[in-house]
Structure 1
């Protein structure tokens, strides 16, 4: 351990210990002393075009890395990134936000400094509403303990935290770490765990057609491998939801499909809703995960596993962690054979896309071509809108190859998140599937992808405006946007030989463009896919029809 430390180096060392290798953000005068020490540290600085994009990038990074971090200046930077932090809070993403702040002397004097909003406590108070913990590091004697508390909470609760660092505290001397930071190990109450595992195993073993519904918290708490072991030990069929898609490999013979209530494929809906025992793990019954609440599941037949408690029928079992329950269930469940219990309708593999070369591109054929293009080396990021309505029909063969913000649903998320995804998984190629309206929100981050030589494939669906809003409500001029020459953006951002843009209007042109992208794995490729104004996936048409019913 080092013999000397500053508040900044202490924080940076702790982040490195916890696996953070990159920090995303935008410089500003209140945070420059901290950034100087970031540059001198083992962590890489990733400057983004604005603070909101930094937050989205850190969110994408955290989903795959287990922890992400962003750095902004006070006021203008903090409030710019607020939406991204709110999204991380809503979707249980462990993100550390570090904001510079005016020096402590100015704060004590109540000076009217630039970037100040109302008073010196306002930014901290606002972030307290969208984080699990927040602290002002205004004392080098107490800063180490506060840093350790917030980081441990972020890791254990899988929620964002906020650290406000006054400019004069960045180089303030403090005690160095005395030992590695080990977040407190949580464990289940032994008696409650045993009783719950016995009861759950008895129900599952007696059931004739049990099933598993793997929800978002399986992903957030890294329980995929343990759950896969349970699936294979007991030969239990499983389904996922939009928010948890790809938490387990979708080529697995026991994968039923994606469950969205009445929006599901009929065979998927029938097998989940008719299961005589449904093991529901970390599932959130949100509007989009349930087909706007069109589920018909008898709660008396559900083993509902939450993040710290389990409900079986009318009985609650407190103080139980889902990972502990999974481990206790594995030896208790009787092995079955695949012939005895399996998906009612195995998911068909995606065939090769055969274009009708001169035919104008339609949404249905566009998605069919994209589906055929994807492979295990890629991570698909599906933007809120038509993209994430179409994505349920894609087969994502291996685990952790899909990112979606389906609950908070902030359009513009995916392009910056691709930056974080690639840095968290250097061997995976990010593929962004986004509408033109969403893309215009954060398009400038293509510049950062180019600068860092990240070979993303950016698929921009050019349907001339906010299609999802057109389908949810009677159309109006508020859904119109300026038509951009999207395919020209790589050249605009000086991509040179490191990137190219392609505009396509026919099936043949899209097929050729995707082949070009596949043949250039080291380049950024932006494909502008032009379809008719109201042409969309079956999933979006279904969403629109459901929402209009109220």
Structure 2
């Protein structure tokens, strides 16, 4: 078994069957083995940054992904996307083909390097944005691959493997046994954490739960729901958990956005005398720019590897075990809570069919278009904020970047999601600015025969930036493209349904036409230049104050 074959066995074991990347001379032997083995599909992307976003999208649906780049020029191109995955806690196995091991050991002056003999600089770059790294040799490959992959699983963040070109095909002196994915924590610390939280819950008069994306990243959802059901607790969630929690569950009350929350959510969260926060990170976007009013003495911070409170800290715990035990210690008290934070008007009757479509009417129509099991991908911008206000049907996945917020994420992440779940309907919402950054991956979607429904929200430039600063300034302008011609550029033979819509009725007709249309669908939606929902406009005003005012919002 070669080093590459060993990695492939491990990736299969972890549910990965696609590899994203770009070929380069140092990874060709590795890619030859990947593509001839038969168990994997190699998805060659147009550039490494797009490949990293595609790997991110795939991992959010499948649980993990693999990204292959070449040394220096390739891996640094991908690094911005890998950093985003690190911020968002998305596990990607970054596999980098390096110059031959003898060249690395001798400090040879090779292309794709700084020509200074330094072969530690690339690894050092990745060290800041991955949780484990290794330079593989024939002697250490098996042990190091397992160590790094276990870190990827346990931390739910990217890892980095350097594979020299003459090592990728080297024989490895061990056969892989099944990975032991059970996290071993400190039993005593776990028991103390359970005892402390249970005692706090038992004497609380108004407890509640607040969850973040960790409920999905670390498979804690069922435990959180069981705790809420057994104890009769309301569950609110931060924006990164959108699409990871069933919104119709009787204990789920809606999104907590700091001061921008609905009154009932605000009262449940900020009025709680014991608030169990599972994986919570109170970022600017999640809190309406730090508008939360949470009393520290009432918070219990449950993270993937520790539990903390006002006067306690337990490290190296097993978070799943903590949640299971505090659930078992409580009495059953099933209770239904009102979910009242619907941010969108419930009906579209207030909008004339013949009127020009705007942000409010478009998203009302999209609300009625959603189906159970959809995968919704949103680029950063007005689309992401609007999607976060929709009511998602059961089994909906939502892919976006509320923390990293990289413009251009959407199209390649849509590619990754389509590869991860080819039988599910994938909807992409992307602005004209985001599309212009990563539009090349439309060609990859066509090449693989993938068929998402793409909504291009054309509002003539960088609307988010315009609403923060420089509404009429040239730096927020984009060169207009003839967007409906793009599918013909990337797929001259056809295979795409294209529409441009300007009125509410045209949107309605376009949505109806998608039924039974077995092709990629590209719908350009013409929107007003400075149009945004009122909650987003208010948030962006606060962003402007925070960024540019001497007496602005405090973090």
Q: Which residue is 1:343 aligned to?
A: 338
1:263 equivalent among 248, 255, 260: 260
The 2-side partners of 1:429 and 1:449 are apart by 14
1:449 equivalent among 439, 445, 460: 445
The 1-side partners of 2:540 and 2:344 are apart by 28
- Is the 2:30–2:169 contact (alpha carbons within 8 Å) kept by the matching residues of 1? yes
Quickly say closer, same or farther: Cα 1:430–1:161, change in 2 above 3 A. same
Q: Is structure 2 residue 252 aligned with structure 1 residue 235?
A: no
**Secondary structure of residue in 1 paired with 2:515:** helix
Deviation at 1:399, TM superposition (A): 4.5
Deviation at 1:424, TM superposition (A): 2.1
The 1-side partners of 2:73 and 2:184 are apart by 41
The alignment's TM-score, normalised by the length of structure 1, stands at: 0.94
Q: Which residue is 1:382 aligned to?
A: 378
The 1-side partners of 2:36 and 2:429 are apart by 36
Q: Which residue is 1:47 aligned to?
A: 44
Which segment is superposed worse, 491-500 or 447-456?
Answer: 491-500
The 2-side partners of 1:62 and 1:315 are apart by 34
Q: Which residue is 1:462 aligned to?
A: 458
Q: Which residue is 2:56 aligned to?
A: 59
**Secondary structure of residue in 2 paired with 1:529:** strand
The 1-side partners of 2:76 and 2:483 are apart by 29
- Is the 2:21–2:68 contact (alpha carbons within 8 Å) kept by the matching residues of 1? yes
Q: Is structure 2 residue 130 aligned with structure 1 residue 134?
A: no
Quickly say closer, same or farther: Cα 1:546–1:104, change in 2 above 3 A. same
The 1-side partners of 2:498 and 2:367 are apart by 20
Quickly say closer, same or farther: Cα 1:192–1:180, change in 2 above 3 A. closer
- For residues 88-237 of structure 1, what are the structure 2 equivalents within 5 Å? 88-118=85-115, 119-137=118-136, 139-183=137-181, 185-237=182-234
- Is the 2:186–2:316 contact (alpha carbons within 8 Å) kept by the matching residues of 1? yes
- For residues 482-521 of structure 1, what are the structure 2 equivalents within 5 Å? 482-494=479-491, 496=493, 498-520=495-517
Q: Which residue is 1:10 aligned to?
A: 6
The 1-side partners of 2:451 and 2:405 are apart by 25
Deviation at 1:431, TM superposition (A): 1.1
Which segment is superposed worse, 462-471 or 423-432?
Answer: 423-432
The 2-side partners of 1:186 and 1:108 are apart by 35
Deviation at 1:221, TM superposition (A): 0.4
- Is the 1:237–1:343 contact (alpha carbons within 8 Å) kept by the matching residues of 2? no
The 2-side partners of 1:233 and 1:428 are apart by 33
Residue segments in structure 2 that go unaligned for 5+ positions in a row: 547-555
The 2-side partners of 1:233 and 1:492 are apart by 56
Q: Tell me the alpha carbon deviations over residues 351-397 of structure 1, each in whole angstroms, 9 at most, x when there is no partner.
A: 56556221111111111112221111311112211112222210112
The 2-side partners of 1:541 and 1:258 are apart by 18
Quickly say closer, same or farther: Cα 1:89–1:439, change in 2 above 3 A. same
Quickly say closer, same or farther: Cα 1:360–1:172, change in 2 above 3 A. same
- For residues 299-448 of structure 1, what are the structure 2 equivalents within 5 Å? 299-338=296-335, 342-343=337-338, 345=340, 353=348, 356-399=352-395, 401-448=397-444
Deviation at 1:508, TM superposition (A): 0.8
How many residues matched? 541
Which segment is superposed worse, 392-401 or 343-352?
Answer: 343-352
Quickly say closer, same or farther: Cα 1:348–1:49, change in 2 above 3 A. closer
Q: Tell me the alpha carbon deviations over residues 314-342 of structure 1, each in whole angstroms, 9 at most, x when there is no partner.
A: 22233322211111022112222426xx2
**Secondary structure of residue in 2 paired with 1:174:** coil
Deviation at 1:34, TM superposition (A): 0.8
Q: Is structure 2 residue 243 aligned with structure 1 residue 246?
A: yes
The 1-side partners of 2:173 and 2:394 are apart by 45
Q: Is structure 2 residue 23 aligned with structure 1 residue 27?
A: yes
- Is the 1:303–1:310 contact (alpha carbons within 8 Å) kept by the matching residues of 2? yes
The 2-side partners of 1:301 and 1:109 are apart by 58
- Is the 1:255–1:346 contact (alpha carbons within 8 Å) kept by the matching residues of 2? no
Q: Tell me the alpha carbon deviations over residues 43-70 of structure 1, each in whole angstroms, 9 at most, x when there is no partner.
A: 1111111111111111111122221101
Quickly say closer, same or farther: Cα 1:74–1:527, change in 2 above 3 A. same
Quickly say closer, same or farther: Cα 1:159–1:498, change in 2 above 3 A. same
**Secondary structure of residue in 1 paired with 2:536:** helix
Runs of 4+ in 1 over 6 A off after TM superposition: none
Quickly say closer, same or farther: Cα 1:479–1:56, change in 2 above 3 A. same
The alignment's TM-score, normalised by the length of structure 2, stands at: 0.93
The 2-side partners of 1:87 and 1:213 are apart by 23
